[in-house]
A = this chain, B = another copy of it.
Amino acid sequence: MKAMLHACIISTGTELLLGSTIDSNCNFLSQKLCDLGVRVIARFTVGDNREQISNAFNNALKLADLVICSGGLGPTLDDLTKEIACEVAGCQMELVEEEVKHLQEYFARRKRKMPEANLKQALFPPEAIILKNSKGTAPGMYLKKDGKVLVLLPGPPREMQAIYLQEVEALLERDFCLDDKQSASCTIKVMGPGESQVDEMLMDIINEPRGCSLALLAQDGEVHIKLTAEGENAEHSKQILREISRRIENNMDRYVFGHDEESLSGVVAKLLVNTGKRLAVAESCSGGLLAQMITELPGSSRYFWGSVTSYSNDAKVKLLGVKEETLASYGAVSPETAEEMARGILRKSGCDFSLAITGIAGPDGGTKEKPVGLVYIALAAKEDCIVKEMHFAGAREGIRILSAKTALDMLRRQLQYGGI
Chain B, residue nearest A109 (CB):
B393
| A292–B293 alpha-carbon span in the complex (Å) | 11
Q: Chain A 362-404 against B: per-residue CB contact (8 Å), 1 yes, 0 no?
A: 1110000000000000000000000000000111111010000
Q: Which residues of B contact A348 (CB under 8 A)?
A: 318-319
- Nearest 3 interchain pairs by C-beta: A287-B295, A19-B30, A288-B291
Distance between Cα atoms of A289 and B404 in the complex (Å): 13
Among B29, B74, B288, B397, contact of A19 (Cβ-Cβ < 8 Å):
B29
A284 closest partner in B (C-beta): B306
Main secondary structure, interface of A, reads: mixed
CB distance from A231 to the nearest CB of B (A): 20
A41-B17 contact given A288-B291, A288-B307, CB 8 Å threshold: yes
**A255 sits at the interface (CB 8 A):** no
Partner among B29, B217, B292 whose Cβ is within 8 Å of the Cβ of A20:
B217
* Chain A interface residues (CB < 8 Å from chain B): 14-23, 26-34, 40-47, 49, 52, 55-56, 59, 63, 74-76, 78, 110, 115, 117, 135, 156, 158, 195-196, 199-200, 215-219, 224, 226, 280, 287-296, 298-301, 304-312, 314-316, 318-319, 348-350, 362-364, 393-398, 400
Contact among B34, B74, B199 with A76 in the assembled complex (CB-CB below 8 Å): B199
Which B residues are in CB contact (< 8 Å) with A74? 195-196
B63 & A59 in contact (Cβ 8 Å cutoff): no
> Chain B nearest CB: distance from A186 CB in Å?
13
- 27 intermolecular pairs with C-beta atoms under 8 Å apart: A15-B226, A17-B40, A17-B41, A17-B43, A18-B30, A18-B217, A19-B29, A20-B31, A22-B22, A42-B45, A42-B46, A42-B47, A43-B44, A44-B45, A45-B45, A76-B216, A135-B394, A280-B315, A287-B296, A291-B291, A295-B311, A298-B364, A299-B364, A305-B314, A306-B309, A306-B312, A306-B319
The reply to whether A301 and B295 contact each other, CB–CB distance below 8 Å, is no
- Within the complex, what minimum Cβ distance (angstroms) separates A136 from chain B? 9
Q: Is the CB of B294 within 8 A of A301?
A: no
Q: Which residue of B lies closest to A228 (CB)?
A: B18
Residues B349 and A318 in contact, CB atoms below 8 Å apart: yes
Bound: A318/B219 CA distance, A = 37
Distance of A348 Cα from B310 Cα, bound (Å)? 12
**What B residues does A349 contact at CB under 8 A?**
314-315, 318
Is there an interface contact between A30 and B42, defined as CB atoms closer than 8 Å?
no
- What chain B residues lie within 8 Å of A22 (beta carbons)? 22, 27
A289 to chain B, nearest CB (A): 5
Q: In whole angstroms, what is the CA distance A34 to B20 when docked?
A: 10
Residues on the B chain within 8 Å of A75, using CB: 196
Residues of B with C-beta under 8 A to A397? 158, 296
Q: Which of B28, B59, B216, B296 contacts A59 (CB 8 A)?
A: B59
